[in-house]
Structure 1
Amino acid sequence: MNRQKFIDKFMAAFFILAILKIIGILAQLFHQSFWEVIWTLVVFAFVAIMIFAVLLRLEKKEKGQNSSGGKSRGGSVYIETSIFDKIRNKYEELAEKYIAEKDYKKAAKVYMNLLQDHYRGARTLEDGGFYTEAAVVYLKKLKNRTDAAACYEKAKQYKKAIDLYKELEQKEKVGDLYRIINDIKNSNTYYQMVVDDYVSNSQMVKGSLIYRKKMEMPEEAQKILLKGWEENKDAFNCLNNYFANIFDVKQLEHSIQELYQKTPEDKKIIYLDAMKHEFKKDPKLQTATRNIAYEIITEKVAGHSEIVNELKHFNPDDEVILKDISRYKTGRNKMFRN
């Protein structure tokens, strides 16, 4: 097939497709407003005229080459590529023009109807703040529930967003949206699922944060942290957060002493690390935390000589302690050399 025949056939096919497209646009009158359909028709007619002009120019150029005896070069593949590139570029320019004019709906129609690019169409609608329309495209055309849910959320259509997040098994997000619409019962149901998942994965601190920050259940948060400490599931962070959630200094001092009495031998060094943090919180805590530290160091120094270094954390301004630590370490080294 030479180029002239290809152009003639392409023009005939384009003419038939244009008629079918016009019929399709007019059929939209059954579910869209009259002026929306007319505008779509005007846009299509404008683009069709530009494409037809390109085809006429190519046909004229080809006829000129044939009349002058010129030989065909590149074949129909080159012509086909050239035509479609020019058409696509015209569509791209039209979409960019509409975006520059902040007419995001028209730009989206160009992307979806003329370029068959539903993703860019949805993105354009989202950028323009047409979140519901964007969600429909994400869901129906792209089967993208994640972006559809996010758009419904932005559009404040929370029930639709909740349904999608449930399908995606994003339980915390479901809880968040139920809380926004003031459905506390369902909100806490889904938050509890999140807590249960964290606990089953030994992520006690994260579970406690859901109780405290989102469910407003500080007592349950403390229970889960205490459970993590007792069961040695991220023990230090559980203990540290447990103490951090006690704001009354007297109550905190009591809890520190009470919990220490229940601490098994194999976890006392972890408790000592926690005391270094508590010592710095308030001068009123220094006596209790220092005494606990001394007791632990005394018990453990025989098997862990390096533990004497921890004394400096509880006597930061005492130069005598630092010298005593140095002498102890020097004397112990001499003993081992002998």
Structure 2
Amino acid sequence: MNRQKFIDKFLRCLLILAVLKIIGIFAQLFHQSFWSVVGTLFLFLIIAFIVFFVIIGLKDKEKDAKNSGRKASGGGGTFYLENSLFDRIRSKYEELAQKYVDEKDYLKAAKVYMNLLQDNYRGAKTLEDGGFYNEAAVIYLKKLKNKSEAASCYEKAKQYRKAIDLYKELEQKEKVGDLYIEIHDIKNAHAYYQMVVDDYVNNNQMVKASLIYRKKMETPEAAQQILLKGWEENKDAFNCLNNYFANIFDVKKLENEIQNLYKKTPSDKKNIYLEALKYEFKKDEKLQSTTRNIAYEIIAEKVNTHSEIVNELKHFNPKDEIILKDISRFKTGRNKMFRN
């Protein structure tokens, strides 16, 4: 009996709310277009029909249960019925939202998610998937307090100023620079890119700093200077040197730079220099003589204190089988000397 009363009361309340909602929808005619109001009314009627259908179904089910003599305890039965009712209504809302998504009617689907299922995230995501980026951004920002997603949506909507403001708050400086480029504000773009460079340099990430100069600011000379600084100050020295050489495309200039830089290289960094020379040796036949000669100098200088360095000779004589035998004999003789 309690369950039956609950359904009847719920149905009466639903009808009253439906009438009030319809009156409210018609009242929108004063500040919205006729077809917009008709669309809202149509959506409401579909939803109301679904809810009404679910309740009538439950009512019939309750009557059948009563007639068959299956009675549950009053309080527990009402609780179960309430849960069952709302679960079925929610399921119908989910089906309706998915139906709108399948039909590419993302606005209606988003309304179902947000207004009926109280799921603002799925509502915003549905709007975003449907290309309603401005609308999605507002939901992300106002309802979900998610500045990152909102900024991304504003960017997709080409609302670059709004996106820039949010990315500034998020301290995504490189992204701010990218968007200033989109609106052709080179001065501000470079100002933010320079902030990114400074951050990288302060964290000894010289290669990343050089890439900002080269790729974003289009200043290859500054990129080379920052790599040279990293090499000289021993901040990720090998990668800085390797990238420095890689950015010199004229073979003759590269050969001269390899020679000049070697003359300035202190003894404690020559092993790193030797490692970089392996890559330059393979790059072009015109570089092989220079890189091989410098490699020989470094190996000769270091062999007394680091005998294993003789193994590096094979990298500069890849087709010379004799030198491999010489390396083997040297290592054998060295081992005998230590044993004696």
Q: Matched residues in 2 for 1:277 and 1:26: separation?
A: 76
**Which of 318, 321, 325 matches 2:320?**
318
Deviations 1:169-222 (A, max 9, x none): 111111111111211111111111111110010000000000001100001101
The question of 1:259 aligning with 2:261 is answered yes
**Which of 78, 85, 88 matches 1:86?**
88
Q: In structure 2, do the counterparts of structure 1 residues 238 and 127 end up closer, same or farther at CA, with 3 Å as the change threshold? A: same
Q: In structure 2, do the counterparts of structure 1 residues 311 and 12 end up closer, same or farther at CA, with 3 Å as the change threshold? A: same
Identify the residue that residue 305 of structure 1 maps to in structure 2: 307
**Which of 237, 241, 248 matches 2:239?**
237
Identify the residue that residue 202 of structure 2 maps to in structure 1: 200
Aligned-residue offset at 1:69 = 6.0
Where does the alignment leave 5 or more consecutive residues of structure 2 unmatched?
A: none
Aligned-residue offset at 1:9 = 2.9
Q: Matched residues in 1 for 2:88 and 2:210: separation?
A: 60
CA contact (8 A) 1:208 1:224 kept: yes
Aligned-residue offset at 1:40 = 1.4
Per the alignment, in what secondary structure is the counterpart of residue 318 of structure 2? coil
Where does the alignment leave 5 or more consecutive residues of structure 1 unmatched?
A: none
Identify the residue that residue 2 of structure 2 maps to in structure 1: 2
CA contact (8 A) 1:3 1:72 kept: no
After TM superposition, the structure 1 stretch with the greater mean CA deviation from structure 2, 242-251 or 137-146, is 137-146
Superposition map of 1:1-338 within 5 A = 2-22=2-22, 25-26=25-26, 28-29=28-29, 32-63=32-63, 71-73=71-73, 74-338=76-340
Aligned-residue offset at 1:59 = 3.3
Aligned-residue offset at 1:22 = 3.9
Aligned-residue offset at 1:110 = 1.2
Q: In structure 2, do the counterparts of structure 1 residues 11 and 286 end up closer, same or farther at CA, with 3 Å as the change threshold? A: same
Identity %: 76
Q: Matched residues in 2 for 1:28 and 1:218: separation?
A: 61
Deviations 1:39-69 (A, max 9, x none): 1122112211221233234334445655776
Q: Matched residues in 2 for 1:82 and 1:68: separation?
A: 20
After TM superposition, the structure 1 stretch with the greater mean CA deviation from structure 2, 61-70 or 207-216, is 61-70
Root-mean-square deviation over aligned CA pairs: 1.9
TM-score (norm 1): 0.94
Q: Matched residues in 2 for 1:149 and 1:249: separation?
A: 45
Q: In structure 2, do the counterparts of structure 1 residues 23 and 302 end up closer, same or farther at CA, with 3 Å as the change threshold? A: farther
Aligned-residue offset at 1:139 = 1.2
Q: Matched residues in 1 for 2:166 and 2:108: separation?
A: 28
Q: In structure 2, do the counterparts of structure 1 residues 2 and 325 end up closer, same or farther at CA, with 3 Å as the change threshold? A: same
After TM superposition, the structure 1 stretch with the greater mean CA deviation from structure 2, 224-233 or 22-31, is 22-31
Deviations 1:137-180 (A, max 9, x none): 11111111111111111111111111111111111111111111
Q: In structure 2, do the counterparts of structure 1 residues 286 and 66 end up closer, same or farther at CA, with 3 Å as the change threshold? A: closer
Q: In structure 2, do the counterparts of structure 1 residues 282 and 66 end up closer, same or farther at CA, with 3 Å as the change threshold? A: closer
Per the alignment, in what secondary structure is the counterpart of residue 265 of structure 2? coil
Q: Matched residues in 1 for 2:30 and 2:282: separation?
A: 73
Q: Matched residues in 2 for 1:65 and 1:283: separation?
A: 92
Q: In structure 2, do the counterparts of structure 1 residues 172 and 24 end up closer, same or farther at CA, with 3 Å as the change threshold? A: farther
Deviations 1:225-254 (A, max 9, x none): 011101111000000000111111111111
Aligned length, in residue pairs: 338
Aligned-residue offset at 1:5 = 2.5
Q: Matched residues in 2 for 1:88 and 1:51: separation?
A: 9
Q: Matched residues in 1 for 2:28 and 2:308: separation?
A: 82
**Letter matched to residue 52 of structure 2:** F
TM-score (norm 2): 0.93
Q: In structure 2, do the counterparts of structure 1 residues 320 and 79 end up closer, same or farther at CA, with 3 Å as the change threshold? A: same
